[in-house]
Amino acid sequence: MKESIISCFVEQFGQQPLVVAAPGRVNLIGEHTDYNEGFVLPGAVDKRIYVAIAKNEKNILNVYASQYKQNFSFDLNEIHPVDGWATYLLGMTYHLKQIGHNITGVDVVIDGDVPLGAGMSSSAAVCSAFGFALNEMFGFGLSRMELALLGQKTEHTFAGVKCGIMDQFASLHGKKGHIMKLDCRSLEYEYIPFDFPDYKIILVNTMVSHALASSEYNVRRQQCEEGVAILKEYFPTINSLRDVSNEQLEKYKDELSEMVYRRCSFIINENARLLHGCDLLNKGDLKSFGQMMFEAHKGLSKGYEVSCKESDFLVVQAKLFSGVMGARQMGGGFGGCTINIVKTDSVEDFSTYMRDSYSKQFDVMPEIYVTQIEDGAKVVE
């Protein structure tokens, strides 16, 4: 990919570029915990967005997208959101300028192998790669966390997606052989070992669009806030479900509607699962961690009700396959991918088995992505 993007850049712009790569991400456990000030457990993967960049003598951002064979040019004095992926580059540029950094014209080629719509956060990888490249080229001296926060702000303001910080954080902070326990309240994080060469992380795409995800995301958020508001009457120090114990929830469950109770119960238990899962991984106990992934999926499906029949089917099939340690739905829900931890020597058989069983059940062929945990954003030497 490096040689390809350099060759393309020279062909398009006639000079040698700096090349930066930023990965997509997976999340091992901890869904819908971010907006409840809880914990998430992401890792960067070996699918990346590549940005080749060099200064030009104009006040223009010239962009060529290799994947789509598209050219765009934007005046840096007139930056505003646009339709499509280029809005992420414009948003990062805008927000860097807003905090006082001088950006002159640049030529850019962008390419990559992060699959779109697979829940690996290709948009966050675009923001991370481009922000990292600008930071390197102009010597801004921004930290990885500062770049992650700018990426999140870009999603909010230029793409209209009110996401948390996990995706950008993971793309920039990834470390080979480790996943990251991120505290979504304090933004403190800890690297947790995940170095299991005999296993691969495999995503199986239901090919179901996330049509309900945005609206139901907001509904779940409101339900959690309703639970916190009621419990806060009895426990004034509570600010989010992060602060609520199971004992507190059970004591006043009759004050909550059954639905709000189930939503709160899932979040409280998901946080507990994640923290216990970190202990298991620190001990190298992948088998027990995998069982917790199955438990997490049950909670997502029955308690938080953000799964779908296709995701449920894939997790059941994975559980029946002897080479699988754990599986669950990944992401916001209502489609997208399941994440599976599979023995390396069973990857081919597992892929065939999942394609056959899923296509027979739903008459749709699922896409399958085999990944492993790698480093975050970096200059490609």
The one catalytic residue in 34, 107, 111, 167 is 167
Torsion angle of the four alpha carbons 94, 98, 100, 105, in this order, in degrees rounded to the nearest 10? 20
Long-range (24+ apart) CB contacts under 8 A made by 232-241 are 239/37, 240/36, 240/37, 240/38, 240/185, 241/36, 241/37, 241/38, 241/267, 241/268, 241/271
Say how far apart CA 134 and CA 379 lie, in whole Å.
11
Which has the closest alpha carbon to 92: 172, 33, 17? 172
DSSP assignments along 214-237, one per residue: HHHHHHHHHHHHHHHHHHHTT-TT
* CA angle (333 as vertex; 129, 67 as ends), nearest 5: 35
Dig out the tokens for 373 from the structure: 């945990």
Distance in angstroms (rounded) separating the CA atoms of residues 110 and 49: 7
Residue 167 catalytic? Answer: yes
Catalytic residues: 167
